[in-house]
Amino acid sequence: MLKGKTALVTGSTSGIGLGIARALAGQGCAVMLNGFGDAAEIENIRANLAAEAGVDVRYNGADLSQADQIATLVGETVETLGGVDILVNNAGIQHTAPVTDFPPDIWDKIIAIMLTGAFHATRLALPHMLAKGWGRIINTSSVHGLVASIHKSAYVSAKHGIMGFTKVVALETAQSGVTCNAINPGFVHTDLVQAQIEDRAAAIGKPVADAARDMLSEKQPSLDFVTVDQIGALCLFLCSDAASQITGVPIPIDGGWTAQ
């Protein structure tokens, strides 16, 4: 479906971002990966994805809190892969603390990576999409772009901000062949979440399965995790012709979390 297209997926060396990159590559899309991690492990991920999908897969480790590095990232994507048809603003970090105890430097970093970084990537990639008359911008928001939870002031603020940004970009590109939407996952079963579940199980002296169910029961009525493959499939739909009139909207994939 996406043969001849090029995607830039930020925060794509693990978790949700890697799942999205894998889905796009599986449909013939060349992919620029971005994120942090062990260099050898990232190269292994890149090489395996390229071999499995039979597409060109590159990697750039730009720090998305730095505007100049984002410019280099977008520029390298255009230079090596021929353009940016699909931009997935996915990179994110988390820190939890009450507002009164929240470290200002960490607040600044979360906002820089998750909101300001998405702005810079979009403003730089969008002209390439407009020139072609086709493009897809997909912002990984969260249920926390629609509702709040305690101790997550920076994360919730960034995710609510990306929802406003999504709407503005959608309106500005409404007649251009470019769409801009946000996906809003609830609890997603990633390696990071699995580690949190195991820590929780150890702390409360329960089996891992019970700890997972307890976590889900607090927020997610389905009592089941969203998978990275489901999120990847949703992104593919948003890249399809069937979704050409879907723009400027949040799309929850949250097991009923935001229905409450």
Q: Give helix then strand counts, H and E, for the chain.
A: 9, 7
Structure tokens at 35: 């994120």
Q: Among this protein's residues, is 59 annotated catalytic? A: no
Between the alpha carbon of residue 105 and those of residues 12, 95, 102, 112, 218, the distances in Å are: 24, 11, 9, 10, 30
Structure tokens at 143: 């249920």
Which residues have CB under 8 Å from 197's CB, separation 6+?
A: 208, 211, 212, 215
Helix (H) or strand (E) holding 223: none
Q: List the strands of the sheet with 178-185, edge to edge.
A: 57-60, 30-34, 6-9, 86-89, 135-140, 178-185, 250-253
Helix (H) or strand (E) holding 108: helix 104-111
Between the alpha carbon of residue 29 and those of residues 8, 152, 238, the distances in Å are: 10, 35, 14
Active-site pick, 20, 45, 62, 155 = 155
Crossing angle of helices 117-132 and 153-172, in 10° steps, is 20
User: Which positions are catalytic?
Assistant: 155
